Amino acid sequence: MIWTIHIVALLCSLLGLRPCAGEVPRQGAFITYSEVSRSRDELDPGSIAAVALVSTYGQIRLRLRRDWAPKACEAIAAMAVGTSRECSGCSFYRHEPVPLNWGVNGFSGPPYALLQGGLPGMLSKVKMENAKLLPVIWAWKLGMEQVMQIGRGTAAFIGDTSDFFIGTADHTEWGGAFTVFAEVVAEDMAGVVSNIPVEPYRNSTDSYNITTRWLLQSIPFTLQPLRLDELSTGAV
């Protein structure tokens, strides 16, 4: 029960919501376009191997992991090949750096080592989907490797929302609390994610003294679908 309350508190802090009932403090909390034979609108979402988030900082290619979260992958692939791919309102609005001493003696922030954004044009919210989901208390007992975790370079949806984040450090403290659906291509982690600014920002501190950072200027992006052959060449 205690671990369930911690997860509720974590969800509130990620979404910037006011404290939830029963919440307790968290311990530790442009690219070149290439013509293809078929138009984007004709692509089958099932043929999409990755979705690129394209901003003025470059592309962040999310390699979809349907073996981890098939419904979540299908949802973002369908959005990328449809009329919503221009992604009006889609943006990165939170980027918290990896703090010094991350992971030392269980230290996990603040700041919280993530890049967070939203897909408001998604037709339906992504439901919780984690193939290895276990209650966090069991995750600890079984040694965490039994749970689909947030690692550096993985992307996850926050349950029942269209908001997602990319871990910029390993988050073993979160267990299986989120829908992990993609891996960021390594060169994009190094060359794009790391170059997205973390400031200027404002702090938001809730009544339990959990402080999160929110960018003063959000960074818009659009979606580009990638088939497997396009992913290997980096073309979109």
Higher confidence at residue 44 or residue 197?
197
Average pLDDT, the chain: 80
What does the block give as tokens for 76? Answer: 């973002």
pLDDT at residue 227 is higher than 90: yes
| Rounded Cα distance, 101 and 95, in Å | 18
- Please state the φ and ψ torsions of residue 202, each to the nearest 5 degrees: -115, 150
Distance of CA 4 to the CA centre of its chain: 21
| Res 66: pLDDT | 93
Quote the DSSP letter at residue 193: G
Domain ranges of the chain: 29-233
CB of 174 within 8 A of CB of 10?
yes
pTM, entire model: 0.77
- Mean pLDDT of the region 177-196: 94
pLDDT at residue 32 is higher than 50: no
Higher confidence at residue 59 or residue 68?
59
| Rounded Cα distance, 72 and 61, in Å | 16
pLDDT at residue 31 is higher than 90: no
Neighbours of 35 (CB within 10 A): 6
93-145 per-position pLDDT tens digit: 999 999 999 988 888 889 999 999 999 988 778 888 865 555 555 444 545 44
What does the block give as tokens for 45? Answer: 């979402």
**76 half-sphere exposure, CB direction, 13 A CA radius:** 36
| Res 34: pLDDT | 42
Neighbours of 33 (CB within 10 A): 10
CATH superfamily, domain 29-233, is Cyclophilin-like (2.40.100.10)
Q: By C-alpha distance, which of 141, 152, 157 is closest to 74?
A: 157
Weakest-pLDDT range from 53-57, 66-70, 113-117, 144-148: 144-148
151-182 per-position pLDDT tens digit: 999 999 998 899 999 999 999 888 778 899 99
CB of 62 within 8 A of CB of 51?
yes
| Rounded Cα distance, 169 and 108, in Å | 9
Query: How would DSSP label each residue in 123-173?
Result: SSPBPP--TT---HHHHHHHTSTTS--B-TTEEEEPTTBSEEEEESS-BGG
What is the maximum alpha-carbon separation in the chain? Answer: 55
